[in-house]
Amino acid sequence: MDTTGISKPPDGGAARAPEANVVLDLVRLIRPNQWVKNVFIFPALIFARRSDPWALFAAVFAFVAFCLLSSGTYALNDVLDREEDRLHPTKRNRPVASGRISVSAALLVAFALTLAGLVVAGQVHRAVAATGLFYVILMLAYNLVLKHHVIVDVIAIAIGFLLRAIAGAFAVQVDISPWLLVCTFTLCMFLGFGKRQCELAAFNSTEEAANHRATLIHYSPHLLSHLLTTSAGIAIVTFLFYTLDPQTQAKFHSGLLVYTTPLVFYGVFRYTMLVQGGQVSGPNEVLVNDKPFLLTVLAWAVAAVVIVYWGPEIESTLRVWLDLNARQTA
């Protein structure tokens, strides 16, 4: 007879909490705090200078679709990673790893969310649904195979974010600059390698980290530092190329976007400092909890929106002001 009042989960492992909150555990399973990653849907809307209601609704529904699809992959991920999660200091408290939600229930949630996401995406545009399906297949391949291969795991994650940006372009039916796609891809690789750095710092040894994620045995701090530097450098350079591209300046009728580069530099350097110091658990915590980084992202977003939509007026006003100052000085 069990006198502890704590029962074991059906498939072994961590103990079940005596008073499980089913609703809260379902929320934890689908990880709505990770939905912020789906904001990559919206740059196409902004940089295409679209402000009509149809484009806005299309982008919002594409965002909702990818929130559902990503939550479905999170639920599946929790099922497939439950044994490894039980070895992690914090992930062992996830609903499936702890046994508070059964494997069958989590798989049912994953299927329902994925199906709902594809249906919503299809209502926006067939191309959005096709991109969403590709995303689901990629994440399935990641969970089953790709995450076990060093560097390939981060590339797969970066492609997942790139698919969000492409889906956003399909949603509002606009072309997206190749420079912006490359910048998005390399920026996401930078964030992904930072995540691996945080995971490595959470354990006392590389061997202990490898028990949680096999690829961590190959990610040394020195290698990750090099990968972070390389991916960050390429992301910044491609952003500069995008802002200086004559086609970009002709589209916005302004060349002011390049002057947001200092904010990009600070954001990249701030993130690097935090992950290298082992102060955070990943990109999501940096965005949510680090006020300087969050303010930098918000400041860049506001500046970008203002420049994209009102750049010509700003430049015209600056020219008038400079001409007046020049005459007064003369």
In a domain, 36, yes or no: yes
In a domain, 314, yes or no: no
In a domain, 63, yes or no: yes
Instruction: Give the pair of three-digit tokens for residue 13.
Output: 């492992």
Please indicate, yes or no, whether the overall pTM of this predicted structure exceeds 0.85: no
State how many domains the chain has: 1
How many Cβ atoms are within 10 Å of 126's Cβ, its own excluded? 11
In a domain, 277, yes or no: no
pLDDT at 82: 85
State the average pLDDT for the chain: 85
Question: Distance between CA atoms of 149 and 125, rounded to whole angstroms?
Answer: 34
pLDDT at 312: 86
Which residue would you say has higher pLDDT here, 30 or 199? 30
pLDDT at 47: 87
Residue 19, judged by CB atoms within 10 A of its CB (0-12, 13-18, 19+), counts as exposed
In a domain, 59, yes or no: yes
Confidence of residue 90 (pLDDT cuts 50, 70, 90): confident
pLDDT digits over 131-184, tens only?
999 999 999 999 899 988 999 999 999 999 999 999 999 999 988 889 989 999
Q: Considering only 53-57, 123-127, 218-222, which range has the smallest mean pLDDT?
A: 218-222
In a domain, 259, yes or no: no
In a domain, 164, yes or no: yes
What CATH number is given to the structural domain containing 200?
1.10.357.140
Confidence of residue 299 (pLDDT cuts 50, 70, 90): very high
Per-residue pLDDT at 17 exceeds 80: no
Instruction: Give the pair of three-digit tokens for residue 102.
Output: 């059964």
Per-residue pLDDT at 328 exceeds 80: no
Contact predicate 308/49, CB 8 Å: yes
Question: Distance between CA atoms of 117 and 75, rounded to whole angstroms?
Answer: 14
In a domain, 201, yes or no: yes
Domain assignment of residue 235, given as a range: 22-250
Contact predicate 10/134, CB 8 Å: no
